[in-house]
Amino acid sequence: MVSEELEFRARELILRETTTLGIRTRSADRYVAKRSMTSMSTEYGDVGIKKKFLSGIPVAAAPEYEDCRRIAIEQGISFQEIYTRAVFQARQQFLES
């Protein structure tokens, strides 16, 4: 998938550089959920949290990968442990009423 601005260049490149004789194109719409960013304190340090909303209701909360990665490296703890605990805490804090 390419933007409309790049479509002509992509078509030209594909037709010139490959053996294909034709290309099918179609447009696609993109629907995006509302989201917000917040920060959450964990036992390992602060982690950014992405919250997703549908019809104004929070439906998902996920920790920022880079924050979990940084903490794992700094503290010598596995990324998976940091991420899993952050997911659990974020769900409790932001999704459960």
Residue 86 has pLDDT above 90, yes or no: yes
68 C-beta neighbours (distance < 10 Å), count: 25
Mean pLDDT of the chain: 95
Give pLDDT, residue 57: 94
Residue-wise pLDDT tens digits, 3-15: 888 999 999 999 9
Kindly list the domain boundaries of the chain, sorted by start residue: 30-94
Give pLDDT, residue 28: 87
Burial class (CB in 10 A: 0-12, 13-18, 19+), 57: exposed
CA distance 50 to 70: 17
Q: What is the mean pLDDT of residues 40-69?
A: 97
Q: What is the mean pLDDT of residues 37-62?
A: 96
* Domain covering 30-94, topology: Ubiquitin-like (UB roll) (3.10.20)
Residue 33 has pLDDT above 70, yes or no: yes
Give pLDDT, residue 3: 87
> Do 77 and 44 touch, CB atoms closer than 8 A?
yes
The residue among 47 and 97 whose pLDDT is bigger is 47
| pLDDT band (50, 70, 90) for residue 97 | low
9 is written with which tokens?
């260049």
Which residue spans within 43-97 are E strands per DSSP?
45-54, 57-63
DSSP character at residue 13: H
